[in-house]
C-alpha cells in the first residue's frame, strides 16, 4: 500500500513539475528554441520560356537563404523561401503575388524575374504599398513609376536606351559607315522595351530604319520573320529575343545564309549555357548587349567567387546551367539588398525598407549599388560581348573567355570587335 501511495505521489509530483516547466517555457522560451521563420515570397519562371534562367535564380536564392541562416537569420529569425512557378506567363503574376501576400502572409517580397512578369506583378504589389526587388527586368517600372520598386539589373536611369547603347555605339564606330538597320523583337513588354530603346539609339546614330516589327511571343518558327528582315537588305540587324527565340532566329538566319554587316541585340538565349552548347559555332559573330555579368577579372567583386563556387557544386545533376554567370549573382545580390535593409532598419516594415533602399549604398556580389529614379541603378554597367572562333558544341568552348569576348564598354573590354559579321563567321 505504501508503495502504491509513493508511486502516486511521484506521478502527481512529476505532472505538477512538468506543467510548471511548460508554463515557464511558454513565458520564457529558451535561447535555442526555433523562432518563427521570415517568409520571403516570390515567383520565378521554372517552366516555359524563362525556365533555362529561372532554375539558376532559384538556386542562387537558396544559397543566399542558407548563407543568411548560417549567420543567424534576419533579426534572429531563420529565412524561409515561399515561391511559385509562374510558368513564364505574366497573367499568373497578380494571382501569385496576391496569394503570397494575403494567404501565405509572407513577410518580405522579391521578384519576379523578367520584364513582362515584373510589370504584371506590380499591379498586385503597388496597391498594397509593398516593397519588392525585381530581378533582371528592363524598364519594368517606367510606366507605373511605383515608388517602392527596386530593380536588380545595371541599366541605370534610362533603362530602355541603355540596354542597346553599347550595341549602337559599336555600330557608329565602324567603317565604312553603316546606314540602314532592321529592328525586330517579341511582341511583349521585354521585346517592346528593347526595340523601343534600340529605335531611339538607331535614330540618334543616323541610321535609316528599313524594318521595325514585333512578332507574336508564342511563335515557334522564326523562318518567316528572318526572311522578312532579310528582304530589306539591312546593314545592321537588332533583335530583342527570349531564350527560345534566340535559338530560333540564329538557326533560321544560318539556314538562309543571312549575313548582314552587323547582327545581334538583346539575345537572352546567349546567356544560358545549355543554349550556347546547342548553338555552338552558330553563335560566331553575334553581338549581344544583354550581358550583365562575365567572369572577367574586373568583375571579381567581394563574395562572387564563393557564390559561383557554391552554385557550381549545387547545380550538378539539377539539369540547369552549370555556371549561372549572368543570373546567379543578381538573384543573390537582390537577397543581399533585402537583408541589408532589414538589418539597417531592424524592421520588416515595407515602407521603412523602401526608404532605406532609396537612401543607402549596398555592397553586393555584383558590386556597389545605389538606386535612383523608378528604382533603377543610379549608374549603368551593361556589357556587350561577341562570340568568335567557336568550333564545336563543347562546354569548354562556350565558357572560354577567349571566345566570349567583351567588346564594350572600353573600361571592361577584353578584345576588339571583329567586323563585319561575315569575318567573325569564318
Residue 345: inside a domain, yes or no?
yes
Residue 238: inside a domain, yes or no?
yes
Residue 9: inside a domain, yes or no?
no
* Alpha-carbon gap, residue 241 to 51, rounded angstroms: 15
Residues 102, 165, single domain; the answer is no
Residues 147, 169, single domain; the answer is no
Residues 271, 401, single domain; the answer is yes
* Alpha-carbon gap, residue 258 to 7, rounded angstroms: 94
- Whole-number pLDDT of residue 329: 98
Tens-digit pLDDT profile for residues 320-379? 999 999 999 999 999 999 999 999 999 999 999 999 999 999 999 999 999 999 999 999
Task: Judge contact between 78 and 37, C-beta under 8 A.
Answer: yes
Residue 17: inside a domain, yes or no?
no
Task: Judge contact between 328 and 314, C-beta under 8 A.
Answer: no
Total count of residues recorded for the chain: 426
Residue 29: inside a domain, yes or no?
no
Residue 105: inside a domain, yes or no?
yes
DSSP, res 76:
T
pTM score: 0.89
Q: What is the pLDDT along the chain (426 residues), one digit of tens a residue?
A: 443 333 334 433 443 344 343 333 333 333 333 589 999 999 999 999 899 999 999 999 999 999 999 999 999 999 999 999 999 999 999 999 999 999 999 999 999 999 999 999 999 999 999 999 999 999 999 999 999 999 999 999 999 999 999 999 999 999 999 999 999 999 998 999 999 999 999 999 999 999 999 999 878 899 999 999 999 999 999 999 989 999 999 999 999 999 999 999 999 999 999 999 999 999 999 999 999 999 999 999 999 999 999 999 999 999 999 999 999 999 999 999 999 999 999 999 999 999 999 999 999 999 999 999 999 999 999 999 999 999 999 999 999 999 999 999 999 999 999 999 999 998
Measure the N-to-C terminal CA separation of the chain; round to a whole number of Å: 102
From 334, 366, 300, select the one nearest 152 (Cα to Cα): 334
Residues 187, 272, single domain; the answer is yes
* Alpha-carbon gap, residue 321 to 343, rounded angstroms: 32
Domain CATH code at residue 200: 3.40.50.2300
Residues 77, 181, single domain; the answer is no
* Alpha-carbon gap, residue 39 to 315, rounded angstroms: 24
Strand partners, 362: 369
Range of the domain at 148: 38-154+300-375
DSSP string, 231-286: TT--SEEEEEE-HHHHHHHHHHHHHTT---SEEEEEEGGGG-HHHHHHHGGGGTT-
Q: Crossing angle, helix 51-70 and helix 328-345, to 10 degrees?
A: 40
DSSP string, 289-314: EEE-----GGG--TTHHHHHHHHHHH
Residues 123, 239, single domain; the answer is no
- Whole-number pLDDT of residue 217: 85
Total count of domains within the chain: 2
Q: Crossing angle, helix 223-230 and helix 243-255, to 10 degrees?
A: 60
From 190, 199, 116, 187, select the one nearest 161 (Cα to Cα): 199
| 259 CB-near residues (< 8 Å, 6+ apart) | 253, 285, 421, 422, 425
Residues 304, 360, single domain; the answer is yes
| Beta pairing, strands 38-44 & 180-186 | unpaired
Residues 285, 258, single domain; the answer is yes
Residue 383: inside a domain, yes or no?
no
Residues 319, 200, single domain; the answer is no
* Alpha-carbon gap, residue 130 to 126, rounded angstroms: 6
Q: 112: cis peptide before it, omega within 30°?
A: yes
Tens-digit pLDDT profile for residues 264-296? 999 999 999 999 999 999 999 999 999 999 999
- Whole-number pLDDT of residue 35: 85
Residue 22: inside a domain, yes or no?
no
Residues 205, 321, single domain; the answer is no
Residues 262, 399, single domain; the answer is yes
Residues 119, 183, single domain; the answer is no
Amino acid at each position: 500500500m505504501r508503495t502504491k501511495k509513493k508511486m502516486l505521489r511521484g506521478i502527481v509530483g512529476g505532472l505538477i513539475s512538468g506543467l510548471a516547466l511548460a508554463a515557464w517555457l511558454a513565458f520564457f522560451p529558451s535561447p535555442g528554441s526555433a523562432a518563427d521563420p521570415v517568409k520571403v515570397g516570390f515567383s520565378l519562371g521554372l517552366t516555359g520560356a524563362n525556365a533555362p534562367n529561372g532554375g539558376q535564380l532559384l538556386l542562387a536564392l537558396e544559397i543566399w537563404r542558407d548563407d543568411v541562416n548560417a549567420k543567424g537569420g534576419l533579426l534572429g529569425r531563420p529565412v524561409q523561401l515561399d515561391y511559385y512557378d509562374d510558368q513564364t506567363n505574366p497573367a499568373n503574376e497578380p494571382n501569385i503575388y496576391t496569394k503570397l501576400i494575403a494567404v501565405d502572409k509572407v513577410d518580405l517580397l522579391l521578384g519576379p524575374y523578367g520584364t513582362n512578369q515584373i510589370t504584371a506583378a506590380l499591379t498586385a504589389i503597388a496597391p498594397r504599398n509593398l516593397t519588392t526587388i525585381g530581378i533582371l527586368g528592363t524598364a519594368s517600372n517606367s510606366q507605373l513609376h511605383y515608388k517602392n520598386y527596386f530593380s536588380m539589373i545595371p541599366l541605370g536611369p534610362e533603362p530602355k536606351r541603355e540596354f542597346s547603347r553599347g550595341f549602337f555605339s559599336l555600330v557608329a564606330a565602324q567603317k565604312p559607315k553603316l546606314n540602314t538597320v532592321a529592328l525586330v523583337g517579341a511582341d511583349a513588354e521585354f521585346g517592346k522595351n528593347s526595340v523601343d530603346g534600340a529605335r531611339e539609339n538607331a535614330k540618334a546614330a543616323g541610321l535609316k530604319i528599313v524594318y521595325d516589327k514585333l512578332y507574336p511571343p508564342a511563335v515557334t518558327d522564326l523562318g518567316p520573320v528572318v526572311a522578312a528582315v532579310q528582304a530589306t537588305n539591312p546593314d545592321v540587324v537588332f533583335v530583342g529575343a527570349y531564350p527560345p527565340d534566340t535559338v530560333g532566329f540564329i538557326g533560321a538566319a544560318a539556314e538562309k545564309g543571312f549575313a548582314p554587316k552587323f547582327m545581334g541585340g538583346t539575345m537572352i538565349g546567349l546567356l544560358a549555357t545549355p543554349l550556347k552548347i546547342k548553338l555552338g559555332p552558330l553563335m560566331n559573330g553575334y553581338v549581344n548587349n544583354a550581358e550583365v555579368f562575365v567572369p572577367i577579372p574586373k568583375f571579381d567583386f567581394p563574395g562572387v567567387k564563393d557564390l559561383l563556387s557554391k552554385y557550381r557544386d549545387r547545380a550538378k545533376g539539377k539539369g540547369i546551367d552549370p555556371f549561372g554567370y549572368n543570373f546567379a549573382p543578381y538573384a543573390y545580390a537582390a537577397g543581399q539588398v533585402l537583408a541589408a535593409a532589414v538589418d539597417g532598419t531592424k524592421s520588416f516594415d515595407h515602407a521603412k525598407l523602401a526608404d532605406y533602399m532609396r537612401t543607402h549604398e549596398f555592397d553586393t556580389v555584383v558590386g556597389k549599388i545605389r538606386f535612383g529614379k523608378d528604382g533603377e541603378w543610379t549608374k549603368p554597367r551593361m556589357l556587350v560581348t561577341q562570340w568568335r572562333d567557336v568550333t564545336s558544341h563543347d562546354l569548354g568552348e562556350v565558357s572560354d573567355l577567349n571566345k566570349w569576348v567583351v567588346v564594350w564598354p572600353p573600361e571592361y573590354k577584353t578584345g576588339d570587335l571583329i567586323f563585319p559579321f561575315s569575318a567573325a563567321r569564318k
